[in-house]
Amino acid sequence: MTARTSIAPPAEIVGAPVASRPTVWRKLRKNPSVLLGATIVLIMLFIGLIAPVIAPTDPTAINPAARNLLPLAESSARLEDGTRATIVHLMGTDSLGRDVYTRVLYGARVSILVGITVALVSVAIGTIIGTAAGYFRWLDSLIMRIMDGLMAIPAILLAIALVSLSSAGITTVIIAITVPEVPRIVRLVRSIVLSVREEPYVEAAITVGTPVLPLLIRHVLPNTIAPLIVQGTFVCASAILVEAILSFLGIGIPPETPTWGNIMAEGRQLFRLFPHNILFPGIFLAVTVLAVNILGDGLRDTLDPKMEKRA
């Protein structure tokens, strides 16, 4: 072995500037699934936001003279200032004479609100519990057995039980949908934490005395972000669906609040004669859930390195 006296290597002193990898944003913008899904979801969100502006009437206004009208039928109603106005019911009216179009627009608010809230809350809770289970060995088997127990109960049954324990309302519904979603997030986060905690850079951080909390936030949790975004969108889609199911079964949000599930429940009895009552909210529900799922698929394709290899 030749004895070199200096430490400095002969060449290559500075890290070579590497061509910057295509950023995540650029990849996301190129992915057709992400574009399509995000566009539809944003349109739904926008519809929900501006519902009061574009809706022709009040979503709860009952008009006994205009019950069960077919789509595009017209009715006249007395406005608050005493004048009469003619309203075109784009999607007809229900058995109480409420404008279905207005109610569907307002329904987008509830669905999107429930979907996003459930996704955020379950991801937040799931991340905390999952990190604890993955990092602290002694907590692991205890937490995971509880989660196994929760996962053994069908999500909708669990939601029904939780709703029946308290008064109906949007908060109750959100909690009822969140609880069964949490174990899935916990499992995901735990598995990532379990593998990342064995990484040498995490062990190096332990040996330089990094306390547990900064260690988790700096070195471990960033690895969970991408899978959580993906899983979060799928939770969001399933939450929108479960909310509609609960409302349809009459155990979710009170029937006077316009939600897609409620509108469909209302139209169920006369569904053979007036299918529009179920058809239009059904289409909105299907399109929204489909869009969120497409978005989730696109996100997974771009964010998950395993999917990239397969392509």
Partner 1 sequence: MSEPILQISNLSVDLPRNGDRSHAVEKVSFSVNAGEIVCVVGESGSGKSVTAHSVMGLLPKGQLTPTGGEILLEGENVLNASPGRLRALRGTRMSMIFQEPMTALNPVLTCGEQIDEVLQIHTDLALAVRKEKVLAIMEAVHLPDPARIYGAYPHQLSGGQRQRVMIAQALVLDPVLLIADEPTTALDVTTQAQILRLISEMQERRGTGVLFITHDFGVVADIADRVVVMEKGQVVEMGTTEAVLKRPQHSYTRMLIDAVPTLDPPSREENAAPIMLETAKLSKIYGTGGFFRKTGEVRAASEVDLKVRGGETLGIVGESGSGKSTVARCIARLVDPTSGSIRVGDLDVATMSERELRPHRRRCQIVFQDPYRSLNPRRSVGASIIEGPVNFGTPHKEAYAMARELMSLVGLSPDALDRYPHQFSGGQRQRICIARALAMRPEILIADEAVSALDVSVQTQVLELLEDVRRKFNLALLFITHDLRVAAQICDRIMVMKSGLVVEQGRTAELFAAPQHPYTKALFEAAPGRTFEFARTPSM
Residues in contact with partner 1 by CB under 8 A are 1-4, 7-9, 12-19, 141, 145, 199-201, 203-211, 214, 218-219, 222
Nearer to partner 1, 79 or 212 (CB): 212
Beta partners for 89? 73
Of the candidates 129, 141, 142, 226, the residue with the CA atom closest to the CA atom of residue 184: 129
Q: How far is CA 166 from each of CA 114, 151, 177, rounded to the nearest angstrom?
A: 18, 22, 14
The helix, strand and coil proportions of the chain, stated in percent and rounded to the nearest 5, come to: 65, 5, 30
Q: Are 162 and 103 in contact (CB under 8 A)?
A: no
Cβ closer to partner 1: 191 or 210? 210
- Residue number, 64 or 209, with CB nearest to partner 1: 209
Closest separation in Å from C-beta 221 to partner 1: 11
- In the bound state with partner 1, the residue whose beta carbon lies nearer, of 70 and 212, is 212
Q: How far is the CB of 298 from partner 1 (least distance, A)?
A: 23
Residue 154 Cβ, how far from partner 1 at the closest point, in Å? 25
Sign of CA dihedral 308, 30, 33, 261: positive
Q: Which amino acid is at 192?
A: I
Provide the minimum distance between the beta carbon of 211 and partner 1 in the complex, in angstroms, as a whole number.
Answer: 7
- Closer CB to partner 1, 77 or 226, in the complex: 226
Minimum CB separation of residue 198 from partner 1 in Å reads 10
Nearer to partner 1 by C-beta: 68 or 223?
A: 223
Task: Give the integer Cα–Cα distance in Å for 104 and 120.
Answer: 24
Q: Which residues contact 168 (CB under 8 A, 6 or more apart)?
A: 251, 252, 253, 254
Nearest distance from C-beta of residue 19 to partner 1, angstroms? 6
Q: How far is CA 172 from CA 104, 121, 147, 235, 254, in A?
A: 22, 13, 21, 17, 11
